[in-house]
Amino acid sequence: MKRMIFSLFWLCSVTGMYGQITLKECQRKTQENYPLVRQYGLIEKTKEYSLANAAKGYLPQFALSAKASYQSDVTEIPIKMAGIDIKGLPKDQYQVLLELQQNIWDGGGIRMKKKQTEANAEVDKEKLNVDMYALNERVNDLYFGILLLGEQLEQNALLQEDLARSFRQITAYVENGIANQADLDAVKVEELNTRQKRVELASLRLAYMQMLSLLVGEKLPDEAVLEKPYGKKLFRQPVKYAGRN
């Protein structure tokens, strides 16, 4: 009983901690995480995690092994000498360099260097703007891809329910001589294909969630609820399967 109460408390805590994840929140956190995103080249590596590939159920053939962490421990020197106290490096390290240099005349070098620095800064600023735009695109593709895959999983569940009803109905028909075994076998095959498709969709959604976690810089729950902008359905078609009239 205690274990059940603890499990329920933990589940409520996790749900309350994350609530409903929003697109704007993901974009903001990704921009805050930009240094690590750039370091691991995630903008380029996530381009195949697109909304189009999510719609096709295509899993990008890309394995990313990257770990980012904040170090609370500092380097310790594993040497102890009598009478000498060698401490580890302080957690906050500062280096101060004071340099005084006076130029009488440099042939215009300082002015040219200043212009070059300003030009480089402008280029860096434009590059940052481009990167931020690309980041938002990647986040959008992942976010809406996850929503789309969620809708496909819902549709898959409805299809499985429909097939189960059809199986029971056709079984009764076979027993009464109205249908034959081939009709029942066709439904069995469709049920198997539908279950396999569900596994593929679930795996693809998990991959998209993991990639979104890397971009935002924190582990998002695999079953996290993403807010649907404007509350619209992204993907919903009539449930169909082979052989159905």
Task: Round to whole Å and give the CA distance between 50 and 145.
Answer: 7
* Banded model confidence at residue 130, pLDDT cuts 50, 70, 90: low
Domain assignment of residue 8, yes or no:
no
Domain assignment of residue 152, yes or no:
yes
pLDDT on residue 222: 86
Nearby residues of 239 by Cβ (< 8 Å), 6 or more positions away: 155, 158, 159, 162
Beta bridge partners, 37, equal: none
R_g (Cα) of the chain, nearest Å: 29
Domain assignment of residue 48, yes or no:
yes
Domain assignment of residue 66, yes or no:
no
Higher-confidence position of 95 and 203: 203
Domain assignment of residue 168, yes or no:
yes
Identify the three-state secondary structure at position 225. Answer: strand
Q: Provide the number of structural domains found in the chain.
A: 1
Quick check: 146 and 208 in contact, CB under 8 A? yes
Domain boundaries, position 125: 19-59+111-233
How does pLDDT run across 140-198, given as a tens digit for each residue?
Answer: 999 999 999 999 999 999 999 999 999 999 999 999 999 999 999 999 999 999 999 99
Q: Residue 96 pLDDT > 70, yes or no?
A: no
At how many degrees (to 10) do helices 109-175 and 181-216 cross?
A: 160
* Model-wide pTM > 0.85: no
How does pLDDT run across 36-94, given as a tens digit for each residue?
Answer: 887 778 877 787 788 788 877 766 654 433 333 334 444 443 434 344 343 444 444 43
Domain assignment of residue 81, yes or no:
no
Domain assignment of residue 38, yes or no:
yes
Higher-confidence position of 127 and 62: 127
pLDDT on residue 158: 96
pLDDT on residue 20: 85
Please give the full DSSP string across 101-122, using - where no structure is assigned.
Answer: ---S--TTHHHHHHHHHHHHHH
* Banded model confidence at residue 13, pLDDT cuts 50, 70, 90: very low
